[in-house]
A and B are shown apart, each in its own frame.
Chain A
Amino acid sequence: MDSNKVDMFILSNGKFFESNQLMYIREQLLSLDDSKWALVQTVQFKDPTTSIIVSILAGALGIDRFLIGDTGLGIGKLLTCGGLGIWALVDLFLIMGATREKNFIKFQQLLY
Protein backbone atom coordinates (compact mmCIF):
# COMPACT_ATOMS: atom_id res chain seq x y z
CA MET A 1 0.00 0.00 0.00
CA ASP A 2 1.09 3.55 -0.65
CA SER A 3 3.16 4.90 2.26
CA ASN A 4 1.18 8.17 2.20
CA LYS A 5 -2.02 6.31 2.89
CA VAL A 6 -0.38 4.26 5.62
CA ASP A 7 0.97 7.36 7.33
CA MET A 8 -2.45 8.92 7.13
CA PHE A 9 -3.94 5.86 8.80
CA ILE A 10 -1.28 5.93 11.52
CA LEU A 11 -1.84 9.64 12.12
CA SER A 12 -5.58 9.37 12.49
CA ASN A 13 -5.69 6.02 14.34
CA GLY A 14 -2.44 6.07 16.30
CA LYS A 15 -4.16 6.83 19.59
CA PHE A 16 -6.15 3.58 19.40
CA PHE A 17 -3.03 1.40 19.63
CA GLU A 18 -0.04 0.88 21.91
CA SER A 19 3.00 2.75 20.67
CA ASN A 20 5.02 -0.45 20.32
CA GLN A 21 2.35 -1.91 18.03
CA LEU A 22 2.44 1.02 15.62
CA MET A 23 5.61 -0.11 13.80
CA TYR A 24 4.12 -3.56 13.26
CA ILE A 25 0.87 -2.04 12.03
CA ARG A 26 2.78 0.20 9.63
CA GLU A 27 4.74 -2.70 8.20
CA GLN A 28 1.60 -4.81 7.84
CA LEU A 29 -0.26 -2.01 6.07
CA LEU A 30 2.66 -1.34 3.70
CA SER A 31 2.65 -4.96 2.60
CA LEU A 32 -1.14 -5.02 2.26
CA ASP A 33 -2.90 -4.98 -1.07
CA ASP A 34 -4.34 -1.62 -2.19
CA SER A 35 -7.81 -3.11 -2.58
CA LYS A 36 -8.10 -3.48 1.19
CA TRP A 37 -7.63 0.25 1.80
CA ALA A 38 -11.35 1.01 1.82
CA LEU A 39 -11.92 -1.74 4.37
CA VAL A 40 -9.05 -0.63 6.59
CA GLN A 41 -10.25 2.94 6.51
CA THR A 42 -13.82 2.19 7.52
CA VAL A 43 -13.08 0.05 10.57
CA GLN A 44 -14.20 1.66 13.82
CA PHE A 45 -11.87 1.32 16.76
CA LYS A 46 -12.79 1.82 20.42
CA ASP A 47 -11.43 4.98 21.98
CA PRO A 48 -9.36 4.32 25.16
CA THR A 49 -10.41 7.72 26.51
CA THR A 50 -14.08 6.75 26.30
CA SER A 51 -13.42 3.50 28.11
CA ILE A 52 -11.61 5.19 30.98
CA ILE A 53 -14.45 7.69 31.40
CA VAL A 54 -16.93 4.81 31.47
CA SER A 55 -14.63 2.98 33.89
CA ILE A 56 -14.60 5.94 36.27
CA LEU A 57 -18.36 6.44 36.10
CA ALA A 58 -19.68 2.89 35.91
CA GLY A 59 -16.66 0.68 36.52
CA ALA A 60 -18.24 -0.89 39.59
CA LEU A 61 -21.05 -2.21 37.39
CA GLY A 62 -18.64 -3.65 34.82
CA ILE A 63 -19.94 -1.49 31.97
CA ASP A 64 -16.37 -0.71 30.84
CA ARG A 65 -15.65 -4.40 30.28
CA PHE A 66 -18.91 -4.86 28.39
CA LEU A 67 -17.97 -1.85 26.24
CA ILE A 68 -14.69 -3.30 25.00
CA GLY A 69 -16.29 -6.68 24.34
CA ASP A 70 -15.15 -8.65 27.42
CA THR A 71 -18.69 -9.81 28.16
CA GLY A 72 -17.67 -12.60 30.51
CA LEU A 73 -15.48 -10.35 32.62
CA GLY A 74 -18.23 -7.73 32.56
CA ILE A 75 -20.69 -10.20 34.05
CA GLY A 76 -18.15 -11.19 36.68
CA LYS A 77 -17.58 -7.57 37.59
CA LEU A 78 -21.29 -6.82 37.70
CA LEU A 79 -22.15 -9.79 39.90
CA THR A 80 -19.39 -9.06 42.41
CA CYS A 81 -20.05 -5.31 42.60
CA GLY A 82 -16.81 -4.44 40.79
CA GLY A 83 -14.88 -7.28 42.39
CA LEU A 84 -15.58 -5.87 45.87
CA GLY A 85 -14.42 -2.50 44.57
CA ILE A 86 -10.82 -3.70 44.19
CA TRP A 87 -11.14 -4.87 40.61
CA ALA A 88 -12.95 -1.64 39.67
CA LEU A 89 -9.98 0.29 41.05
CA VAL A 90 -7.41 -1.90 39.28
CA ASP A 91 -9.34 -1.60 36.04
CA LEU A 92 -8.98 2.17 36.11
CA PHE A 93 -5.34 1.54 35.29
CA LEU A 94 -5.81 -1.48 33.03
CA ILE A 95 -8.77 -0.49 30.90
CA MET A 96 -6.96 1.83 28.47
CA GLY A 97 -4.35 -0.81 27.70
CA ALA A 98 -7.04 -3.45 27.39
CA THR A 99 -8.95 -1.29 24.91
CA ARG A 100 -5.81 -0.78 22.80
CA GLU A 101 -5.16 -4.52 22.92
CA LYS A 102 -8.72 -5.22 21.70
CA ASN A 103 -8.21 -2.71 18.87
CA PHE A 104 -5.00 -4.46 17.89
CA ILE A 105 -6.77 -7.83 17.79
CA LYS A 106 -9.50 -6.29 15.66
CA PHE A 107 -6.87 -4.90 13.30
CA GLN A 108 -5.18 -8.28 13.01
CA GLN A 109 -8.49 -9.98 12.24
CA LEU A 110 -8.96 -7.46 9.47
CA LEU A 111 -5.77 -8.54 7.74
CA TYR A 112 -6.65 -12.22 7.49
Chain B
Amino acid sequence: MGISRKNLYILIMLFCMVGYTWLVMHIDSRWVNFVGPICVFKKTTGLPCPSCGSTRSMIALIHGDFLKGLSWNPMGLLLLGGLIVFPFWLLHDVTFKKDSFHVFYTSLEKTVSKKQVAWPLLLILMLNWCWNIYKGL
Protein backbone atom coordinates (compact mmCIF):
# COMPACT_ATOMS: atom_id res chain seq x y z
CA MET B 1 0.00 0.00 0.00
CA GLY B 2 1.53 3.27 -1.07
CA ILE B 3 0.82 6.96 -0.89
CA SER B 4 -2.79 8.12 -1.38
CA ARG B 5 -3.83 9.92 -4.56
CA LYS B 6 -4.56 13.22 -2.83
CA ASN B 7 -1.27 13.29 -0.92
CA LEU B 8 0.68 12.36 -4.04
CA TYR B 9 -0.90 15.13 -6.11
CA ILE B 10 -0.33 17.73 -3.40
CA LEU B 11 3.29 16.60 -3.08
CA ILE B 12 3.93 16.73 -6.83
CA MET B 13 2.28 20.14 -7.08
CA LEU B 14 4.50 21.40 -4.27
CA PHE B 15 7.52 19.89 -6.03
CA CYS B 16 6.71 21.67 -9.28
CA MET B 17 6.12 24.99 -7.55
CA VAL B 18 9.40 24.83 -5.65
CA GLY B 19 11.15 23.55 -8.78
CA TYR B 20 9.94 26.42 -10.95
CA THR B 21 10.76 28.99 -8.27
CA TRP B 22 14.22 27.50 -7.98
CA LEU B 23 14.72 27.59 -11.74
CA VAL B 24 13.52 31.18 -12.09
CA MET B 25 15.80 32.20 -9.25
CA HIS B 26 18.74 30.75 -11.13
CA ILE B 27 17.86 32.13 -14.55
CA ASP B 28 17.26 35.68 -13.33
CA SER B 29 20.71 37.12 -12.78
CA ARG B 30 19.56 39.25 -9.82
CA TRP B 31 18.79 36.15 -7.75
CA VAL B 32 21.63 33.84 -8.75
CA ASN B 33 23.76 34.56 -5.72
CA PHE B 34 20.84 34.87 -3.34
CA VAL B 35 20.89 31.25 -2.18
CA GLY B 36 23.96 29.68 -3.76
CA PRO B 37 24.72 25.98 -3.59
CA ILE B 38 22.69 24.32 -0.85
CA CYS B 39 23.70 20.67 -1.22
CA VAL B 40 24.12 19.29 2.31
CA PHE B 41 26.18 16.36 1.07
CA LYS B 42 28.65 18.59 -0.74
CA LYS B 43 28.94 20.94 2.20
CA THR B 44 29.76 18.16 4.65
CA THR B 45 31.97 15.89 2.54
CA GLY B 46 33.30 18.23 -0.13
CA LEU B 47 32.33 15.71 -2.79
CA PRO B 48 29.44 16.29 -5.19
CA CYS B 49 26.26 14.29 -4.56
CA PRO B 50 24.61 12.20 -7.32
CA SER B 51 22.31 15.04 -8.31
CA CYS B 52 24.79 17.92 -8.09
CA GLY B 53 24.86 19.92 -11.29
CA SER B 54 21.26 19.28 -12.25
CA THR B 55 20.29 22.94 -11.84
CA ARG B 56 23.12 23.97 -14.18
CA SER B 57 22.07 21.17 -16.51
CA MET B 58 18.44 22.32 -16.56
CA ILE B 59 19.47 25.92 -17.26
CA ALA B 60 21.70 24.80 -20.14
CA LEU B 61 18.81 22.73 -21.50
CA ILE B 62 16.42 25.68 -21.27
CA HIS B 63 18.91 27.77 -23.23
CA GLY B 64 18.83 25.07 -25.90
CA ASP B 65 22.31 23.68 -25.27
CA PHE B 66 21.41 19.98 -25.16
CA LEU B 67 24.93 18.52 -25.06
CA LYS B 68 26.11 20.88 -22.37
CA GLY B 69 22.99 20.07 -20.36
CA LEU B 70 23.73 16.37 -20.55
CA SER B 71 27.38 16.83 -19.68
CA TRP B 72 26.55 18.79 -16.51
CA ASN B 73 24.32 16.01 -15.23
CA PRO B 74 21.94 13.78 -17.21
CA MET B 75 19.54 13.89 -14.25
CA GLY B 76 18.73 17.47 -15.20
CA LEU B 77 16.95 16.13 -18.28
CA LEU B 78 14.78 13.85 -16.10
CA LEU B 79 13.94 16.68 -13.71
CA LEU B 80 13.16 19.18 -16.45
CA GLY B 81 11.01 16.58 -18.20
CA GLY B 82 9.14 16.02 -14.95
CA LEU B 83 8.71 19.73 -14.35
CA ILE B 84 7.24 20.20 -17.84
CA VAL B 85 5.05 17.09 -17.99
CA PHE B 86 3.76 16.68 -14.41
CA PRO B 87 1.72 19.92 -14.09
CA PHE B 88 -0.20 19.13 -17.30
CA TRP B 89 -0.67 15.52 -16.27
CA LEU B 90 -1.99 16.55 -12.85
CA LEU B 91 -4.26 19.16 -14.42
CA HIS B 92 -5.66 16.52 -16.78
CA ASP B 93 -6.26 14.11 -13.90
CA VAL B 94 -7.87 16.70 -11.65
CA THR B 95 -10.16 18.13 -14.33
CA PHE B 96 -11.31 14.76 -15.66
CA LYS B 97 -11.35 13.17 -12.18
CA LYS B 98 -9.00 10.37 -13.21
CA ASP B 99 -6.06 8.83 -11.40
CA SER B 100 -3.75 7.94 -14.29
CA PHE B 101 -0.79 9.63 -12.62
CA HIS B 102 -1.37 7.75 -9.39
CA VAL B 103 -1.56 4.48 -11.31
CA PHE B 104 1.63 5.40 -13.17
CA TYR B 105 3.38 6.24 -9.90
CA THR B 106 2.43 2.98 -8.17
CA SER B 107 3.39 0.87 -11.18
CA LEU B 108 6.70 2.74 -11.44
CA GLU B 109 7.33 2.08 -7.75
CA LYS B 110 6.61 -1.60 -8.26
CA THR B 111 8.83 -1.88 -11.34
CA VAL B 112 11.77 -0.09 -9.76
CA SER B 113 11.56 -2.32 -6.67
CA LYS B 114 12.23 -5.40 -8.79
CA LYS B 115 15.76 -6.72 -8.50
CA GLN B 116 16.31 -6.95 -12.27
CA VAL B 117 15.55 -3.23 -12.60
CA ALA B 118 16.90 -1.92 -9.30
CA TRP B 119 20.48 -3.18 -9.67
CA PRO B 120 21.12 -1.81 -13.20
CA LEU B 121 19.60 1.53 -12.13
CA LEU B 122 21.84 1.60 -9.07
CA LEU B 123 24.85 0.84 -11.27
CA ILE B 124 23.96 3.68 -13.66
CA LEU B 125 23.49 5.99 -10.68
CA MET B 126 26.87 5.02 -9.25
CA LEU B 127 28.60 5.53 -12.62
CA ASN B 128 26.93 8.93 -12.94
CA TRP B 129 28.07 9.78 -9.43
CA CYS B 130 31.65 8.75 -10.26
CA TRP B 131 31.44 10.96 -13.34
CA ASN B 132 30.23 13.84 -11.13
CA ILE B 133 33.19 13.39 -8.81
CA TYR B 134 35.56 13.12 -11.78
CA LYS B 135 34.16 16.35 -13.25
CA GLY B 136 34.52 18.00 -9.85
CA LEU B 137 31.09 19.67 -9.91
Measured CB to CB, the nearest residue on chain A to B78 is: A79
Q: Which residue of B lies closest to A59 (CB)?
A: B40
Bound-state Cα–Cα, A73 to B15, Å: 11
Interface SS majority for chain B? helix
Interface check A32, CB cutoff 8 A: no
A70 surroundings in chain B (CB, below 8 A)? 2-3
Min distance, Cβ B64 to any Cβ of chain A, angstroms: 22
Contact: B2 with A81, CB < 8 Å? no
Q: Sort chain B's interface into a size bin.
A: 20 to 34
Q: Choose one: B19, B50, B109; the contact of A78 (CB below 8 Å).
A: B50
Establish whether residues A79 and B51, one from each chain, have CB atoms under 8 Å apart when the complex forms.
yes
**Bound-complex Cα distance A105 to B4 (A):** 13
Contacts of B18 in A (CB 8 A): 83-84, 86
Q: Does any Cβ of B come within 8 Å of A80's Cβ?
A: yes
Residues of A within 8 A of B113 (CB): 71
Number of A-B contacts (CB under 8 A): 58
Give chain A's interface secondary structure class. Answer: helix
Contacts A84-B18, A84-B22 known; A79 to B75 CB distance under 8 Å? yes
**Residues of A in contact with B, size category:** 20 to 34
Q: Which residues of A contact B15 (CB under 8 A)?
A: 76, 80, 83
Chain B residues closer than 8 Å to A22, beta-carbon distance: none
A-B pairs, top 6 by smallest CB distance, nearest first, are A72-B109, A81-B51, A60-B40, A71-B109, A60-B41, A85-B38
| A to B CB contacts below 8 Å, 25 in the list | A60-B39, A60-B40, A60-B41, A61-B41, A61-B49, A61-B50, A71-B109, A71-B112, A72-B2, A72-B3, A72-B106, A72-B108, A72-B109, A75-B112, A78-B50, A79-B75, A80-B15, A80-B79, A82-B40, A83-B15, A84-B18, A84-B38, A85-B38, A85-B39, A105-B1
**What is A's interface to B at a CB cutoff of 8 Å?**
60-61, 70-73, 75-76, 78-86, 88, 105, 109
Query: Knowing that A72-B112, A75-B112 are A-B contacts, what are 6 other residue pairs whose CB atoms are under 8 Å apart, sorted by A's residue number?
Result: A79-B78, A80-B54, A81-B39, A81-B54, A83-B18, A84-B22
